[in-house]
Structure formats: C-alpha cells, structure tokens
Amino acid sequence: MSEPAMTLEPESSAPAQDTVTLTDNATGKSFTFPVLSGTAGPKVIDTRKLYAETGMFTYDPGYTSTGSCESKITYIDGEKGVLLHRGYAIEDLAEQSDYLEVAYLLLNGELPNRTEKLEFEQVITHHTMVHEQISWFYRGFRRDAHPMAVLCGVTGALSAFYGDSLDINDPQQRMIASHRLIAKVPTIAAMAYKYSVGQPFIYPRNDLRYAENLLSMMFSVPAEPYRVNRVLARAMDRILILHADHEQNASTSTVRLSGSSGANPFACIAAGIASLWGPAHGGANEAVLNMLAQIGRKERIGEFIKRAKDKNDPFRLMGFGHRVYKNFDPRAQVMRRTCHEVLSELGIKDEPLLDIAMELERIALEDEYFVDRKLYPNVDFYSGIILRAMNFPTSMFTVLFAIARTVGWISQWKEMIEDSDTRIGRPRQLYTGATHRPYVPLSMRG
Ligand code: CMC
C-alpha cells in the first residue's frame, strides 16, 4: 500500500486547547485544528477552516464521520444502545411520560411543570383544525394515492394558509408555526386516510388526548359514537414518543438543510416528510410488513435469510440494522413489549406474520452474518406489527412516523435558526467528471 498523502495526529504536548495536527506528506506542511468536546459522545475536529488553510475539502459520502451541527436535543450512543432526549432516557419517557410532554421537552429544553403542561396541551389541542379550504385539496388527489404523497403535499401547502407564522426571524412566529405543525399534521394525515377509503373527514375532538384524538380521526365514523380503547391509545402514544426525534438522521438533516436557506418551517417539514418516505428510513416499517407477507410462512425464512446475506442479491432484511445502533436499539425493546401488550389486548394469538417475525428475529440474532455485523432488529421491526394489529393500513405506517417526528424536526429547525453559527448548508464534492473540453457542434458529432 502506498504511503497516505496526509497523516492526522493528536498533538503530543498537551496544549491548553485540544488540537490535532494534519500533515500533508506531499509538501511536508502541517496544519493544526481545534478539537471540540461536547457534554457526551466523541470529540469532533473543527474543520471549519480546513479549506481556507489547506485548500482541501473532506470527503465523507453519507456523512458517517461528519458532525453537521451543534445540538442540545438528542444524544445517541449507538454502541451502548442509549438514546436520550434533553438528557432523559427514552425508556423512562416511554414508560412514564406522554407524547405531548415529550414534545414540550424537545421543543423547550425542559420538562414542563403542571401549569406549563396544561397550557401546552391547551395550545396544541386548539390548533388541531385545519383551514376548511385545505379539505378541498383532497379531491384533487387520486383516491389510491399513497398517503405520504398527500401528507407531503398538504403539509407544504400550509405555508399558503398561515402567512402570519412564516417570519422565521420572529421567535413568536417560529413558536406558533411549531405548534401548528405538531397540532395539524395528525389531522392532515387522518384526512388522507379517510379520503383513501371514501369516508367523511372526522374533525378533531378537543376532549381527547393527542393519541386518542388521532385514533378517533382515523377510525371513528359520524354514524356512531367512538370509544377509545385505553390500551391501544397508550400504545399509540408510546409509538409517537419512540419516534419523536432521533438526532441528525436523513430527514432531520433534510429539514435543517432546507431551513438553512431561510425557507419557511412548513416547507421544511414537507421536505423532511419526503426524505422520511424512503424505504431505508421511515419507509422501513411498511417494508417490514411487505417482507413478512412475502416470506409468507415460517418454512421460507431460511431462504430469505440466505438472500439477505448474498451480496449479489439486493434483498435486505427490513427492520434489521441501523446506521448508528450497533447494539439493540433501545426503542425496539420498548416496542417489543408494547407489541405483546397490544396483541394480548386484542386477543390476537395466532397472527401468522407475528410468528414469522418472532422466528425471523430468533434466527437472525443467532446467525453469524448478523451477529458479526451487529445487525439487531430496529424500531421499525415491531412497530409495523403493532400498527397492523391496530388496523392501520400498511401505507399509513410511515405517515404515523411522520406525525411523531414532526416535533423532532421542528425542534431541530428552531434550534438551527437560533444558533448564531448557522450558515446556509453547502457541502462540497470530489469532482471526477470531465475537465474543461471544447464544445463540438452537433453537425460535427457524426
Ligand atoms: N440485511 C442484510 N444485510 C445488512 C442489513 C440488512 N438489513 N443491513 C446491513 N447489512 C449489511 C450490509 O450488507 C453490510 O455488509 P458488508 O459489511 O458485508 O458489506 C453491513 O451489514 C453494514 O451495512 P451498511 O449498509 O454499511 O450499513 P448502513 O449503516 O449504511 O445501513 C441501514 C443502515 C439501516 C440503511 C441498513 O441496515 C438497512 O438497509 N436496513 C434495512 C432497512 C431498515 O430497516 N431501515 C430502518 C432503519 S431504523 C429507522 C430510522 O431510524 O429511520
């Protein structure tokens, strides 16, 4: 192997500030960069002056080694399977808190006291209705449109209705836009579902809690009263908590990048929804169910495990693996328990897809390929089964993820706008295309 052109070493004599020195082996020149420490997690090399000083960029496709921002919202230790929101463990929040309290925490930085909690619930509840003209949009969509397409379109359209909360430089308008998004995205999502099945839209109910109201807008019909099942509402609330934020993932980074140009919050959240839709991200819970259906029976699991391991086959075990967690995803543990609670409440004993899922989980956790690569079941592996048991159509799974994540996105967006270090996001590249060449007129191209 040839000698690397650059070497990167920590400074040996401990300076007042941590630094690393980069040596360009081609010229012998050395450059020193500060090393920053957060309150937890790996240190970061501050490369903001790298280009100015060395004339070089970093190359990091997929940003696996790049910190794109400073944040105080969510901390993940993927090796240990830790997830904290504002310092609180996800397991504690899922067991002891509720979604709107977690939303308040993410948005404001602290858990609310009793009065703050009541006020927040009141504000969100009273923003749940959408402008009546928004309901007219739905008729323009095909009934068989994917609800993520509808959610993305209608959420983006909110900026055409709420002009009084588009000024991103006004803290009060930023907060109103945040409240509107947390409150209205479930309404928009439920309307997308009702439209797809040809049932009338159900208005939000202010006497219900957030998750209860979501179930009511989804599953009630005007012809009869709707009684909320407490176990299912609690499970829904937990699913929302577990998906509320997850640091700088693809959709959150999309929201931040869109917002860095000064775009309005409704447009930025629509961009986040678009990114979430992909099967490697939020689309995975839908893909898990499709995969389980494709497997069909337990006897065929071996065949699919074999395919997942075959590098020439694009098939991957959906719901397994994670970019950050190289240990059990702590959300998956809570989701697994919730999954059993829901199935027992609904009296579901022989659910073939669940049987396949459990067997798949068992085999994969013992298989050398998955063990060596630290591929554990992720949050989406179980959430799909719960949602199916609760009667959500598969196409709504990612939509529910988007509802839950809206608060994470908007909290991260707000933090970015309020950070004085924020500049428009503008990555650079390693160009490998043609260099300058003369234009050849069409008549001379043969
Ligand atoms: N099935 C089979 N092999 C896998 C899988 C899988 N699900 N995931 C990773 N691998 C293999 C991969 O082929 C590679 O093997 P090798 O080292 O021999 O080339 C190794 O594991 C590392 O994979 P990677 O692609 O470098 O890992 P990544 O961090 O780029 O990808 C991932 C993470 C989530 C995109 C990937 O694990 C995956 O596609 N999983 C299935 C989709 C899924 O469940 N996504 C939901 C993620 S959790 C929800 C969220 O937070 O959005």
Report, as residue numbers or ranges, the catalytic residues. 322, 380
Q: What's the CA-to-centroid distance between 422 and ligand 1, angstroms? A: 31
pLDDT tens digit sequence for 296-305: 999 999 999 9
Q: Which ligand 1 atom lies nearest to the CA of residue 276?
A: 52
pLDDT computed for residue 83 by the predictor:
95
Note the pLDDT of residue 8. 60
Closest-lying ligand 1 atom to the alpha carbon of residue 319: 44
> What are the C-alpha distances in Å from 306 to residues 70, 296, 301, 370, 372?
41, 16, 9, 11, 15
- Residue 322 Cα to ligand 1 midpoint, Å, equals 6
Distance 309 CA to ligand 1 centre (A): 11
- Residue 6's pLDDT band (cuts 50, 70, 90): low
Mean pLDDT of 236-249: 96
Summarize pLDDT for 354-396 with one digit per residue, the tens. Answer: 889 888 888 888 999 999 998 888 888 888 889 988 999 999 9
249 CB within 6 A, ligand 1: yes
* Percent of the chain whose predicted confidence (pLDDT) is above 70: 96
Report whether residue 371 contacts ligand 1, using a CB cutoff of 6 Å. Answer: no
Instruction: Measure 333 CA to ligand 1 centroid, in angstroms.
Output: 19
Q: Is the CB of 335 under 6 A from ligand 1?
A: no
Mutate which of 74, 273, 320, 370 for ligand 1? The one with the most ligand atoms within 8 Å of its CB, which is: 320
The pTM (predicted TM-score) of the whole model is 0.88
